[in-house]
Chain A
């Protein structure tokens, strides 16, 4: 530690440059990870935040809700077995217009549910959805960015049905659109069809003959655009980790290469190799820890000033996970230098040939 601190203080420029590189990469990784996580929420939070573990779809629907149609007979089979651990769900993607301004349209997703089932979400303001035959509906907080408030009315353009916002849930979204929860009576006003898309189960089952049975994550993966989005973002993140491993390894290696004769001298003077190993590791450790903390702070600060419509989500798990992963990457990148340092022969100090 003595050597480490003295060296970090003396070689400020060199180590600041290395720290800056780490900072920039961590910042970029955090930013893209936050974006990936935000987009994932924006794509599937209305599904992800339910207690449903399994979804029952029509056979051959290829995990796509809009290709699945189930009937009252199907429902009876599951209700008899699972009682209140089963719930009907229909999802339909449409657009709405403001009741008093028909030109102001917003794309949304209707979630048609039984208000007494476990799929009925809790609200952050207003009241929960009820099974009454009225026009009081619950909508996602996300709709606020289109200018909707509690008590506002909106219209279904096709049937001219008007609904009133009675409550807001937190930021629930499906395929990047806000979710509007309707009970089955309200849904009848939009379409008389009583069939539905899927049965959500609280228990995890994997098979049921005559149906397609998928997990919650499978359903989310099949949301249009979800896998492509997440796949490409995580590919970028993965590459950033690999690139930083190499860039840092090479940069740090060059820094240490310049100091090999010093390491030889230190060994000749009686410094244990283990001391020098600790020195190299703590140097890289301190440097990356500081850079990671600064990058986390900056990313977090920027996230506070992002518009609400920007899908960005930076939880403590992401911050901590990214930080730890990066610390590991920097320490691994120091390995190359360590090999050199361990191999330096103290004999190089004698004879004036260095």
Chain B
């Protein structure tokens, strides 16, 4: 059974008198241990698709099955709970909380979650951040920040990882490093992951590639 499955997703935005059809009947799936990438031109609807997967946006129609449960019609409160416990996000600008030390970034998630906490320090250690535990995000390099964001996404042991252009603010070498960390963690921990990217050079690291164009999504690899 796939971890995440989208069935016939349509998303329209009102655009003056007309309707802007951003997603036209999109279907998609990703399995445990699989790292999928979504590519496509700017404005094609990649971010829109990812926010729908992450229970941040309700589609106009269609089903989103996370572990077999349709999450598209749940209340905001339930969706928040699902984001906390079943989904891990990695954002484009890492979006760390500026007033939390690196170890607190992870401990905060553990504080608000009711799941049994794992060793946050060990995870940061594995990502080569053990010397940064007591630093604030502003002194970290872009690559380090993105590694903290990866650790934060995995800390609550979600089933699904969603990453929106995680390499956009990094040079190509750092970008490749960061994505390979995501890839390794996904494979080791047997998670499902979806990454939206512009960056062709990291596509060698993913298991499947989907392309979105003109609101239609198709699997290209």
Contacts and interface: CB of A to CB of B under 8 A. Distances in A.
Given A347-B56, A352-B91, A268 B83 contact: yes
A2 B83 CA distance: 20
Given A262-B98, A352-B164, A272 B83 contact: no
A168 B165 CA distance: 84
A273 B112 CA distance: 12
A270 B56 contact: no
B115 to A, nearest CB: 11
A346 B56 contact: yes
B89 interface: yes
Contacts of B109: 269-270
Nearest to A273: B80
Given A10-B136, A272-B112, A350 B97 contact: no
Contacts of B47: 350-351
A261 interface: yes
Interface residues of B, number: 37
B108 to A, nearest CB: 6
Contacts of A2: 104, 107-108, 111
Interface string A246-272: 000000000000000110011111111
Nearest to B101: A6
B57 A347 contact: yes
Given A349-B91, A352-B164, A352-B165, A266 B97 contact: yes
Interface residues on A, range: 20 to 34
Contacts of A270: 80-85, 87, 109, 112-113, 156
A3 interface: yes
B116 interface: no
Interface in A1-27: 2-3, 6-7, 10-11
Nearest to A347: B56
A208 B104 CA distance: 75
Contacts of B51: 347, 350-351
A192 B87 CA distance: 97
A239 interface: no
A2 B100 CA distance: 10
B54 interface: yes
Contacts of B165: 352
B74 interface: no
A337 B82 CA distance: 27
A271 B152 CA distance: 13
B31 to A, nearest CB: 23
A3 B98 CA distance: 11
B80 A7 contact: no
A82 interface: no
A347 B11 CA distance: 15
B45 to A, nearest CB: 11
Contacts of B108: 2-3
Max count, chain A CB within 10 A of own CB: residue among B56, B77, B113, B136: B56
Contact of B84 (A261, A269, A350): A269
Contacts of A7: 99
A298 B75 CA distance: 50
Interface string A321-354: 0000000000000000000000000110111101
Interface string B26-60: 00000000000000000000010011001011000
B93 interface: yes
Contacts of A352: 91-93, 164-165, 168
B39 to A, nearest CB: 16
Interface in A270-320: 270-273, 275
A161 B52 CA distance: 98
A71 B95 CA distance: 86
B209 to A, nearest CB: 20
Contact of A275 (B83, B100, B112, B156): B112
A6 B137 CA distance: 14
Contacts of B91: 265, 268, 349-350, 352
Contacts of A268: 54, 56, 83, 89, 91
B77 A272 contact: yes
Nearest to A274: B77
B97 A262 contact: yes
Contacts of A261: 95
Nearest to A262: B97
A351 B57 contact: no
Contacts of A350: 47, 50-51, 54, 56, 89, 91, 164
20 contacts: A3-B100, A6-B104, A262-B97, A266-B97, A268-B56, A268-B83, A269-B89, A270-B81, A270-B84, A270-B85, A270-B87, A270-B113, A271-B112, A272-B77, A273-B80, A275-B112, A346-B56, A349-B56, A350-B91, A351-B47
7 closest A-B pairs by beta carbon, nearest first, are: A270-B84, A352-B92, A10-B99, A351-B47, A270-B83, A265-B95, A7-B99
Interface of A: 2-3, 6-7, 10-11, 261-262, 265-273, 275, 346-347, 349-352, 354
Given A269-B83, A271-B112, A346-B83, 18 more contacts: A2-B107, A3-B108, A7-B99, A10-B100, A268-B54, A268-B91, A269-B84, A271-B80, A273-B80, A275-B112, A349-B56, A349-B89, A350-B50, A351-B51, A351-B92, A352-B92, A352-B165, A354-B93
